[in-house]
Structures are given as structure tokens and as C-alpha cells.
Structure 1
Amino acid sequence: MAGKRDEIIRATLRRFRSHSISRTTLKDVAEAAGLPLGNLYYYFKSRDELILSVLDECERELQTLLERLEPLEPVAWLAAYLDWLVETSQERDSLSCPFGSLATELRAVGDPAAIRAAEIVGRYRAAVGARTAALGASDPDALFLAVQGAHTVASILDDPALFEGAIDRLKNGPVT
């Protein structure tokens, strides 16, 4: 059961990231996971349970990223992190933040899961801030906020080149 359940969670997360939470129905999720709608309820008793499972997956994604980057020295960490941003936006075919956009949507509709999503974004912010501080930046939030701004504007304008250009500038300029 865990295998199919995990497939459903990953399919749901892809769908949320490409079409938004509010525009994704359980029928859409079932289709994306390749199963009849009725079978979805075997794995998840409610949409709320599915959303919490998706947030667990986001937490795993973040943990995997942080574990992969942890052993790197600050400059190598920064380069690997910025490369990850571009790679994942291309893989997801989405310019929005892989964690922040879900948190924003959940908050906008008043979903109780917004608290959990905000915790994930807070952990992401803290990790980036700690490494930015290790680089000697006077403002540990500068990099995180620059990346979030790049995500937001590029997503609004649907302009991957704008996002990639912003990330390139962050690679080549000071983060202060």
C-alpha cells in the first residue's frame, strides 16, 4: 500500500504545483495517479488527509536537499543551492517556490494546514539564512528574499529566463 500511496502523494504534489491546490479536484488527483476516484478514498479518507501527506512530502524534499547540501562549504553550498533552484524549476515546469506557493495558497483559503506549510517555509528560510550568514552577509534573509522575489515575479510573468537570470546574478554577485 505504501508504494501506491506514495505515488498518489507525488502525483498530487505535481498537480498542485502545476495547477494550484484550489484548481485541483480529487478527481484530478485520481486521474493523475492513474486510479478510479473511489480507490483514492482507500488511501486517503479526506482531502485534508491528502494535503497533510503532501506537506509531509514537501518536508522530505526539503530535508533531502538540506542533507545533500550540509557537508558543503558555504561558497560551494551557495552554488549547489542556486543550481538546485534552477534544476527543480525546470523539472517541475514551474517558476514558483516549491514550498512557498503551497503555503500561500493554503493560507489564502484559510486551510488549517497553512500552519504546517508555514513551518516548512520557516525551516527553509532558517536553513538558507544560516548559510547566508556563514558567507558573511550582513542580512541573513537577503538571499532567501531575493530567491522568493525571483520566484514570484518570474511566475507572474511566466518567464523562465527572468528566473534563471536572477539566479545567475545571485551566483555572481554579493549576497548582502
Structure 2
Amino acid sequence: MGASDTRRQIVEAADRLFYERGFEATSFADIAEAVGLSRGNFYYHFKAKDEILAAVIERRAAKTHAMLREWEGASESARERIRAFVHILIANKTMIMAHGCPVGTLCSELARLEHVAKNDASGILSLFRDWLARQFAALGRQAEADALALHILMRSQGVAALAAAFRDEEFIRREVEAMEAWLENQCAAASSLKSRPRL
């Protein structure tokens, strides 16, 4: 196995462990054991846990970019693209009930630790925020686009946190339906704004 493959395996294992156990509770030894590396071989690739964290954040950001591009390509409808965002709660419900949102939990932990990487991690949430704002602007809600984006992002994070606390799949489904109804109301409001005569 080449060095780049080994490094990729380390980052993938660290990503999973940081999500399942938390960044602070995951040690070098835990990651090395998950990959099957000796400590010496491990240190060849990463000298500090913060280096691994930076690579994990970079990996998550890249995966987020790829997912957003996929949603962009899947539909020409801004409404359907926003629905795709809402439905990640359903698609990932098992992991969310077990551990919460991978991005939200990492951001919360790093903020609590006052870690220097906290802004880098929150940058992933900003990717969602900016993308959602563009979708609401495409719906015709330019003036409120960022506020609407923050609202649905906040609501999805709240659902993920409570789903992890209560392990309640039905709660997730109900909240997704409620968010879809809210989205339909925003679309109706956008249509109403478009149909108003200009003075």
C-alpha cells in the first residue's frame, strides 16, 4: 500500500472516530489501531492530532462540496434542491440518532474546547448556509435569502441534536414533514411576490 493510500485510510478512520467518540476522546492509538498501523508508521504520516483534524475537516468540506454539486445537477428546481437538503435527515437517520450531525457535533466540541480549528469546522456549516441562501434567492426570496437559509439550517441541526438525545425516528420524520410544509409556504410567498404588480 502506498503512502497516499495509508494517509487516506488514517483520515477516514479518524473522521469516523471523531464522529462516533468525539475529537477529544479519540487518541492517536485509537486511530492507529483502527488502521492497523504501528505508532512509528503512524507518526510518519501525522505528527500531531491537530494535523489529522485539519485533514478530517478538509475531507468533510470536500464531501460537502461534492454533495452540493450533486444536488445542483439533480434538479433545476430550487425547491427540490432545498428538499434534498432537508431529506439528508432521513437518509442519515441511523447515524444521526446514534451520534448527531457529524458537522454540528464537531463544531460544538471544538467551540467548547476553544480549539484553533473551530472556525475551519464551522466553515462547513457556512457552505450549507451560502448554498441554501442561493437556493432561496433563486426562489425569488432575495431579500430574506440568508435569514431563510439560517432558519432551515438551524432547524435541521436542532432535529439532529434531539434525534440523538431521544433516538426517535418518528420525530425525525415528523420534523422533516414540517420543514417541507414550511418550504411550501416559502415557495407560495415567493410566487405571491412575483405576481404583485409593480408600482
Is 1:47 aligned to residue 55 of structure 2? no
Query: C-alpha displacement at 1:161, in angstroms?
Result: 3.2
Aligned match of 1:117: 121
| Residues in 2 aligned to 1:89 and 1:26: alpha-carbon distance in whole angstroms | 29
Q: Does 1:127 align with 2:128?
A: no
For residue 95 of structure 1, report the CA deviation from its aligned partner: 4.9
The whole-number CA distance in structure 1 between the counterparts of 2:7 and 2:169 is: 32
**Aligned-pair Cα RMSD in Å:** 2.1
Matched residue SS, 1:148: helix
After superposition, residues 9-158 of structure 1 pair within 5 angstroms as: 9-71=11-73, 72=75, 73-90=77-94, 94-135=98-139, 138=144, 139-140=147-148, 141-158=150-167
Identity %: 25
CA apart distance, 1:121: 1.6
Query: Contact conserved, 1:18 with 1:92, CA < 8 A, in 2?
Result: no
- Give the TM-score normalised by the residue count of structure 1: 0.87
Residue identity opposite 2:138 in structure 1: A
TM-score relative to the length of structure 2:
0.78
Q: Distance in 1 between matches of 2:27 and 2:107?
A: 18
Residue matched to 1:170: 179
- Residue 196 of structure 2 corresponds to which residue in structure 1? none
CA distance in 1 between counterparts of 2:80 and 2:36 reads 40
- Size of the aligned set, in residue pairs, is 175
Q: Could you say which structure has the larger radius of gyration?
A: 2
